[in-house]
Structure 1
Amino acid sequence: MGTSDLDRQIEQLKRCEPLTEAEVKALCLKAMEILVDESNVQRVDAPVTICGDIHGQFYDMKELFKVGGDCPKTNYLFLGDFVDRGFYSVETFLLLLALKVRYPDRITLIRGNHESRQITQVYGFYDECLRKYGSIRVIDRKQEVPHDGAMCDLLWSDPEDAVDGWGLSPRGAGFLFGGNVVSSFNHTNNIDYICRAHQLVMEGFKWMFNNKIVTVWSAPNYCYRCGNVAAILELDENLNKQFRVFEAAPHESRGVPAKRPAPDYFL
């Protein structure tokens, strides 16, 4: 990793722009080489500016550097807890890590109690890493659906026009998400639109957020009482779309049910 690459990455991270996954891996490997050679009791020469918890508050860390001076002009000692709770733990930690690799003798990073796998899984850094660098392809689907986490969110979350970002779901599991979340997801994953189900729509299908997500519902007259129509979505070899809407089967063609259907509390 050359000096010019590091300088470019530092300037990019100062703008709160994420690095690529390959760049993150290379940066972490280089940082490991440096940190493993440091002592448990690391010597730090004065003058030095000592900094406490940052907790992912990236823009407040930028204010810190405005007050204290940029590295390497100022010699810094950070006492840990770089991540969790704030919205930008990834960018915060990567900027500090890049500065450490670029100026190893001018910045010292001490591990805090939040720099651990167990704590970050509770307080946000782990989930933030999954959102920004993870993939739904790596979720362990061979499990009972947990009460929270990526697997639960994937199965229970719903789009909502009135939500900007993320919101609490009335289902009691998962979240509501707005158009900006869908736009970001589609862009990151290089897809045109999301096709999903699991939510009753009376017309059988429903586009949202400028045709960036569509809900398809294929159970007409849901629970034999909702009065909705159903739909299926056909894609041809060129991915041209055609919705086919259909109604419930005629009453005379239905068999006699063995028992009443169970009530569905989560449409």
Structure 2
Amino acid sequence: MAGEGGSRDLEMADSLDVDEVIKQLLALRGQRPGRHVQLRESDVKQLCVEARQVFMKQNTLLELEAPIKICGDIHGQYHDLLRLFESGGFPPQANYLFMGDYVDRGKQSIETICLLLAFKVRYPENFFILRGNHECASINRIYGFYDECRRRYNVKLWKTFCDVFNCLPIAAIIDEKIFCTHGGLSPEHTSMDQIKRIKRPCDVPELGEDLFVVV
């Protein structure tokens, strides 16, 4: 779980050439799976800064309009993500809502989450991502994302990502009738207003009745 130090580090970073980051990440299009894009650590940190700022400006419950493409778990399968965009259209040609679980299990969680964050920063009103249960430090510490960050960068960068995850929106409603979230919510939350009142940054407690706790 990222603490106050991680938040301060995020606030201190400079601006980013997000188009260049997207260009680097898309360089793997058409190539054999397994190759990596090793972004500069400073660029990844700055990407997290700007993404966090965008998430905090938008609501915990997103109110969206069709047409929009809704996508499920990616789990670090970066080349599957690229094929998805090749089929549905790269932003901003199409609007997207991703439903969570971007990291863990697959071998390229870093490329996956970085491309999603970069598109969010570049097209904040056309591209949306929700929080899944794997966007939680207690889960991705175990299922692969922590190890990938430690192997390719360092633990501090993993904490930076987790700080961003704590700011992700939790649910979306499309055209006031289609409710979208990852895996359901607590039975204690029975209204849209309750979801809107959830304050971020927050994390999911391991025990207790609260759905989220402020961090």
Task: Name the TM tier (shorter chain).
Answer: 0.5 to 0.7
Following TM superposition, the consecutive aligned residue runs of length 4 or more in structure 1 with deviations greater than 3 angstroms are none
The match for 2:169 is none
1:68 partner amino acid? G
* 2:61 is aligned with 1:60: no
The match for 2:25 is 13
Q: Hey, what's the Cα distance between the residues in 1 that align with 2:93 and 2:65?
A: 14
CA deviations 1:13-57 (Å, max 9, x no partner) are 123512111111111011111101211210112110000000000
Deviation at 1:130, TM superposition (A): 0.6
The match for 1:100 is 120
Q: 1 or 2, which has the higher helix percentage?
A: 2
In the superposition, the TM-score normalised over structure 1's length comes to 0.48
2:24 partner amino acid? Q
Q: Hey, what's the Cα distance between the residues in 2 that align with 1:55 and 1:44?
A: 24
Q: Hey, what's the Cα distance between the residues in 1 that align with 2:142 and 2:83?
A: 27
The match for 2:136 is 116
Q: Hey, what's the Cα distance between the residues in 2 that align with 1:36 and 1:25?
A: 17
Q: Hey, what's the Cα distance between the residues in 2 that align with 1:43 and 1:33?
A: 18
Taking only aligned residues, the RMSD between alpha carbons, in angstroms, comes to 1.2
The match for 1:42 is 62
* 2:42 is aligned with 1:30: no
Q: Hey, what's the Cα distance between the residues in 1 that align with 2:126 and 2:38?
A: 23
- Which blocks of at least 5 consecutive residues in structure 2 are unaligned? 1-14, 28-35, 156-215
CA deviations 1:221-257 (Å, max 9, x no partner) are xxxxxxxxxxxxxxxxxxxxxxxxxxxxxxxxxxxxx
1:14 partner amino acid? L
The match for 2:146 is 126
Q: Hey, what's the Cα distance between the residues in 2 that align with 1:52 and 1:77?
A: 9
The match for 1:72 is 92
Instruction: Note the 1:1-267 alignment, pairs <5 A.
Output: 1=15, 5-15=17-27, 16-134=36-154
- Which blocks of at least 5 consecutive residues in structure 1 are unaligned? 136-267
Higher relative contact order (CA 8 A, sep 6+): 2
CA deviations 1:204-228 (Å, max 9, x no partner) are xxxxxxxxxxxxxxxxxxxxxxxxx
Q: 3-state SS of the aligned residue for 1:50?
A: strand
CA deviations 1:82-107 (Å, max 9, x no partner) are 00000000000000000100110110
Structure 1 stretch displaced more, 59-68 or 13-22: 13-22
Q: Hey, what's the Cα distance between the residues in 2 that align with 1:44 and 1:54?
A: 22
Q: 3-state SS of the aligned residue for 2:101?
A: coil
Deviation at 1:124, TM superposition (A): 0.1
In the superposition, the TM-score normalised over structure 2's length comes to 0.60
Aligned residues: 133
